[in-house]
Amino acid sequence: MRAIVVQKNGGPEVLELKDVPKPTPGIGEVLVKVEAAAVNPFDTQARRGDYAAYMPTPHKMGVDVSGTVEALGEGVETLAVGDDVFYSTRVLSNEGGYAEYHVEQAQLIAEKPQDLSFVDAAALPIAASTAWVCLIERGRLKAGDRVLIHGASGGVGLFAVQIARLTGADVVATSRQDARELVQSLGADTTVDYRHADAWEQLAAHSGGGYDVILDLVGGDTIQKSLGILAAGGRVVSIVDQPDPQSLYDGWGVNAEIHLVFLTPSAERLACLGALTARGLLKPVVERTLPLEQAAQAHRLIEAGGRTGKIVLVTS
């Protein structure tokens, strides 16, 4: 089978399309014929070696997968050959979605809604699940809350806006000016161009006395600045590595909670998100699709920034 392999860490050019043996499912595992695999910022980080201690080379790439069950390992009873499925792989231990076939534990795999395309299904697992965990499981967002989403025009951000809208919260979002119309169409009540010199002043003015939940998808000093516009008992949730010290002083006065999220896969969560998508309540936004052999180009686009939605690789 064909698969993208990283022989050594480095730039996008290290992504090589190779012929490798087709995997065989073990006990409790499923062999999936991959139709589509989304590209995530995590993939670019893994490729360049940010997680080298966990992912020694050579290694495969890709954590978002959709496809069709081709074979079952011993003991699998929840799925059948021919089922269309989607899932996120075990991160840092079982990457390999950029390939024609992939093996994963059956307990992590959800059935794909019939009306959802393979491309849209591949765009869901990491991005939508991350947004759900941040806002619902960790942020405890509810109707009447005011939520601020930093970086709303990216893959996770676009799902976060939609999920926040579904809760009945008042949604304020930062994005590029050119993505404002899209972000508002998906559910943002107010958008602020983060590049404006007075962006933080605008965010404070729209806070209504403080945000109940603030989602950080951009990093830098966002947590530190966000604490200054947080409501009493509010939650700041971030998915971004925090390599530099930040002052948390403003959090004391409001009894702030700070949550740092690294996603763990869940078939149950994915099934819920798939059902919402099938009902038209969530909409995957795919910026473009590329053939598997153009994985390096997909990584270049991710690293160039300015993306609106997901990039998805297709195997045929």
Domain parsing of the chain, residue ranges: 2-124+284-314, 128-260
- Identify whether the C-beta of residue 103 lies closer than 8 Å to the C-beta of residue 25: yes
Predicted structure pTM score: 0.95
Q: 2-124+284-314 has which fold?
A: Quinone Oxidoreductase; Chain A, domain 1 (3.90.180)
Q: Pick the closest to residue 70 from 16, 128, 2, 23 (CA basis).
A: 23
For the CA atoms of 52, 131, 38, 84, the dihedral, rounded to the nearest 10 degrees, stands at 120
Residue 242 confidence class, pLDDT cut points 50, 70, 90? confident
Indicate the average pLDDT of the chain: 96
What is the average per-residue pLDDT within 237-243?
90
The predicted pLDDT at position 305 comes to: 87
Question: What order of strands is seen across the sheet that includes strand 170-175?
Answer: 190-193, 170-175, 146-150, 211-216, 230-238, 257-260
What is the average per-residue pLDDT within 281-295?
97
Q: Can you tell me the distance from the alpha carbon of 175 to that of 168, in angstroms, rounded to the nearest whole number? A: 21
Residue 306 confidence class, pLDDT cut points 50, 70, 90? confident
- Identify whether the C-beta of residue 36 lies closer than 8 Å to the C-beta of residue 122: yes
Q: What is the pLDDT of residues 112-156, one digit of tens each?
A: 999 999 999 999 999 999 999 999 999 999 999 999 999 999 999
Q: What is the pLDDT of residues 259-280, one digit of tens each?
A: 999 999 999 999 999 999 999 9
- Identify whether the C-beta of residue 213 lies closer than 8 Å to the C-beta of residue 237: yes
Q: Cβ contacts of residue 174 below 8 Å, gap of 6+? A: 148, 149, 150, 151, 152, 191, 192, 193, 194, 199, 203, 218
State both tokens at 36.
Answer: 């589509």
Residue 302 confidence class, pLDDT cut points 50, 70, 90? very high
What is the average per-residue pLDDT within 27-36?
98
Segment (H or E) for 122 = helix 118-122
Query: What CATH code would you report for 128-260?
Result: 3.40.50.720
Q: Pick the closest to residue 157 from 182, 126, 131 (CA basis).
A: 131
pLDDT at 243 over 90: no
The predicted pLDDT at position 244 comes to: 86
- Identify whether the C-beta of residue 167 lies closer than 8 Å to the C-beta of residue 282: no
pLDDT at 8 over 90: yes
Q: What is the pLDDT of residues 58-117, one digit of tens each?
A: 999 999 999 999 999 999 999 999 999 999 999 999 999 999 999 999 999 999 999 999
Decide the pairing of beta strands 84-88 and 110-111: antiparallel
